[in-house]
Structure 1
Amino acid sequence: MNKLPSLKNLYYLVQLHREQNFNRAAKACHVSQSTLSSGIQNLEEQLGGQLIERDHKSFMFTALGEDVVTRARNLLAEVQEMTDLARSAGEPMAGTIRLGCIPTIAPFLLNRVVKEAGKQFPSLSLLLREDTTENLIAALGNGELDLLLLALPVDTSGFHSMKVGQDPFKMVGHPEQMAMGEVKYESLPDHSIFLLQREHCITGHAISACEMKNSTKVNPFAATSLHTLVQMVDSKLGTTFLPQMAIDSGILNGTELEIYQPPGEAPYRDIGLVWRQTSSRLRTFRTLGQMIQGLLPAASE
């Protein structure tokens, strides 16, 4: 049998593709740049084809290189799955889970998740990554993450998902800016509702859940975080929507803001776990999901 490519060299190639820079890729792999470069050259020799076109200033992946990267990602993910399966045999709530979470959930829920997991499953280690939904789903598909904690609904084609609870939305405003009594969208000034940038899924959830039909009420300026939204609204610039978990975590502490019920049916977002269909840790993820359910209001079917 011909000598097979090493997983280490395939990992070097995948990291280089991700970083698009030899120095950064070497740091990500915790090796020297020369070691990474030699590993990729060895991989080219073993495969009998050029994976990268190089000159003294830049490089680019060949068509073969792109194909090998795609297959290497899948192979490395399957090897990780096999390793996790072996380590968790007979003890599903042990080992490591690489958990990704979005910025509108992570600061307000992950601390409780980690603490509760430590109590219930002391042999389980959670490695955390915070990023946008789009980036996290890509990382899950590439095998860089094992499990995601997201706001649903999102397109989870090719993945399994499990609802673990609900997070109601509330309107937040300065009492000097808000009309007394029941809040009505049509009574709010144009451009008076501030939301997050569109890559934050809470914006879409807020608009759809609260059935805002008049887009002129939404200010075109978008904030980068919930904390920025709070500062803007506390400065009497307008109003916004906040998830209940952020309010419960004290995001309004030190402000003069008050909480109002949005018009119509009580709006909310579903919170869920997402993982690859090929994962062998179904029991682990569902058990962790059941634990998280105890930290959140129940999800509706």
Structure 2
Amino acid sequence: MRPILYRKLGNFDLWFLSDGEIWLDGGSMFGIVPKSLWSRLVTPDEQNRIRLGLNPLLVRAGERLVLIETGIDRKPGEKFRRLYGLGETNPLLDQLALLGVAPQEISLVIHTHLHFDHAGLNTRLSEGRLVPTFPRARHIVQKQELEDALHPHERSQASYRIENVEPLAEQGRFEVVEGEAEILPGLRVLPAPGHTLGMQVVELDSEGQRLAYTGDLVALQVQTPLLYIPAFDLYPMTTLETRKKLYARWLEGGYLLCFAHEPGPPLARLVRGEKGYQAEAVEF
């Protein structure tokens, strides 16, 4: 498990957390890009899987603690954990404890989207029933994403697990937004459709310093080239247009990028050269 990493961004304190690793099919992660190309960037295992990180981001904004993403769902049991190469426990909660942060101190959770590997710790089992893991938090999500998670279609239903969504919806814990919205001063969400129709990215902007949490718009540093779009994306041509739009914004604005699934340190800076868009790692 990757250790906690810290960075100051203007008035924000950022802790780059880890909820462990997940192993997914390499071909699916790179879509139409042939293995002869992507295997030069990452090495698959004997099952053709590649290692991905799970990288929630903890933000201190004044007196408030904001958690971006809640990690992966381990509630389905041993077979599920074995399929994805998961450990039994949630390292995210252990890392929060190391920082002295109790779940009830999180006042806001922001979801890029509600797939099981991004919203898995929305709920936990307590005495045989599902309860909110972060009992005082509001959960920010795009309206489209919540609707799709509660009513998935045949292609998307394997990625959404109702036990991570329905209990919070029934308790009125989701706060839906439609389109771009400022959640707190200097912290905003922007629609980023493609992986799902309702996906969003999170931007931080303080004292001239900027960071974008990319969700699954671009999950790994090596996926930054425009056409390196996973087969998991429901609307790949929409992903392409969204990437073009947001890459231009992030490059012009000098944004740092935090990748949701980078297995190593997840911070990079976007650059554009003769071969198109690339990402260069940034030291902590």
Greater strand percent: which structure? 2
Which structure would you say has the larger RCO, counting Cα contacts within 8 Å and 6 or more residues apart? Answer: 1
Q: Same fold (TM over 0.5)?
A: no
Greater helix percent: which structure? 1
The interval holding the TM-score normalised by the smaller chain is under 0.3
TM-score by structure 1 length? 0.23
TM-score by structure 2 length? 0.24
Which of the pair has more CA radius of gyration?
A: 1
